[in-house]
Homo-oligomer: A and B are copies of this chain.
């Protein structure tokens, strides 16, 4: 199977802060088609599945505007150009939870949607400890920190009450192993 051949035009539109990138391809039958994709090309996000030294998973309970419900989220967010994925993961974890990882393990990259350009890079952070000199911006971001068991995390992810469930999938076997020890 061959990749489709990317051709001009590429048209980048913005609706508020949301970017829509119209990409054009010559399809295998020779016809050129246009596709509206979301998020900027080359954009990257880091998603962190953080486990404390006590074996609890840190999730950020917050209301989410798309699904329009309260969800237990994994910390994460956009990684800036020039920032490494690891630095982005550490920064998002610290900003949203006030925790720092003992060890940061790269799980892989995941794509959820055929028309989304964003690369979502997932990390498992073990041995997380509260940073001494940092208070998360709870008041600003309206996040309620929760420490839950791995069994609870798996239940939340499977109940569809968490965005970025890809990190749970990538860490699944490791999580089951850790769950067995709890």
Interfacial residues, chain A to chain B (CB-CB below 8 A): 1-4, 6, 13, 15-18, 20, 22-23, 25, 27-29, 34-38, 61-71, 73, 108-117, 139, 142, 144, 157-160, 163-166, 168-170, 172
Contact = CB atoms under 8 A, between A and B. Distances in A.
B34 A18 contact: no
Contact of A165 (B112, B115, B144): B112
A139 B5 CA distance: 17
Nearest to A113: B163
A35 to B, nearest CB: 4
A16 B36 contact: yes
B67 A114 contact: yes
The majority secondary structure among interface residues of chain A is mixed
Q: How many copies does the complex hold?
A: 2
Given A27-B142, A36-B15, A63 B168 contact: no
Given A65-B23, A169-B168, A108 B159 contact: yes
17 contacts: A3-B63, A3-B69, A15-B15, A18-B38, A18-B115, A25-B63, A29-B139, A66-B116, A67-B111, A108-B160, A111-B160, A112-B113, A112-B164, A112-B166, A165-B165, A168-B169, A169-B172
Contact of A111 (B3, B6, B63, B66): B66
A37 B65 contact: yes
Given A22-B15, A168-B169, A163 B36 contact: no
A13 to B, nearest CB: 5
